[in-house]
Amino acid sequence: MIEVNAYLSQLTTDTEEVITFIKTEVMNLDESRLSHKSDSRSWSILECIEHMNIATRHYIDIIAIKLPQALSKNTSPVKYFKSGLLGKLSIKAMSPTANQEIKSKVKTFSRFEPVTALSKGKSAVIGEFLQLNETLLDQLSKARHVNVNAIRIKSGIGSIIRFKLPDAFGFVVGHNQRHVLQIKRLL
C-alpha cells in the first residue's frame, strides 16, 4: 500500500524539477541547437519535448474529464492506494532508475511520434510543455480530494489497459523524467 499524499507530493516535486530543467537548461537555447539531430534515427531536443507533450496531453485530457466528475460526486479521499499490476510494471519500465539510468527500451507508437515539432518551433513546443505540466501540477493537487482508487485512466496503448489515477500520474511523470535524461545526453 502506498500513502496517497506522500506519493502525489513526490510526483509534484518531480514535475517541478522537470519544469525547472526545461526553463533553466533548454528554454534559452537557440532554435538551431534545439532542432539539431545527431543522426537521422534520433530525435532532437525539440522533438523530445514535443513527444512529452503528446504523451502528457493524452493523460491530462482524460484526467481533466474524470477528476471533476469525481470531485462533483464528493467522494471521500483515501489515505492509501495499491498500485495495479500493469500500472506498477509500466511505471517501472518507463521511469529512470535511482541512479538515473534507463533500464528498458520502449518502442514509440506512431501516434506519439513528434512529427510536427520542428514545424511548430521552439516557442510553441516549449510553451505547450510548460502549460501541460502546470495543468499536471494542478491535477496532482486536486487528486488529493478524491478517492483515487475509483478513477481509471485509459493508457496510451488503448482502453485495454486502464491505470488507477495515481499510476497514470506516475507513468506521465516517469515518462517525462526519462526524456529529460535523453535531453541531458543531447546537451
Question: How far apart, in Å, are the Cα atoms of 64 and each of 25, 49, 60, 119?
Answer: 29, 21, 6, 28
Task: Compute the mean pLDDT over every residue in the chain, rounded to the nearest whole number.
Answer: 91
Q: Quick one: pLDDT at residue 147?
A: 95
pLDDT tens sequence across 16-46: 999 999 999 999 999 999 999 888 888 999 9
By the 8 A CB rule, do 119 and 50 touch? no
How many domains does one find in the chain?
Answer: 1
Half-sphere exposure of 4 (CA within 13 A, CB side): 19
pLDDT > 90? residue 99 = no
- What's the rounded mean pLDDT across residues 153-158? 86
- State residue 19 phi and psi, 5-degree precision: -60, -45
| pTM metric for this prediction | 0.93
- What's the rounded mean pLDDT across residues 5-15? 98
Q: Is 81 helix (H, G, I), strand (E, B) or coil?
A: strand
Round to whole Å and give the CA distance between 54 and 109: 11
Round to whole Å and give the CA distance between 50 and 116: 8
Query: Out of 42-51, 84-93, 96-105, 109-118, which region has the weakest mean confidence (pLDDT)?
Result: 109-118
Q: The domain containing residue 142 runs over which residues?
A: 2-186
pLDDT tens sequence across 49-90: 999 999 999 999 999 999 999 989 877 899 999 998 888 888
pLDDT tens sequence across 117-130: 778 989 999 999 99
Q: What is the CATH number of the domain that holds 103?
A: 1.20.120
pLDDT > 80? residue 108 = no
pLDDT > 70? residue 114 = yes
- What's the rounded mean pLDDT across residues 99-110? 73
The DSSP result for 103-156, as a single string, is -S--PPPGGG--TTHHHH-HHHHHHHHHHHHHHHHHHHHHGGGS-GGG-EEEET
pLDDT > 70? residue 111 = no
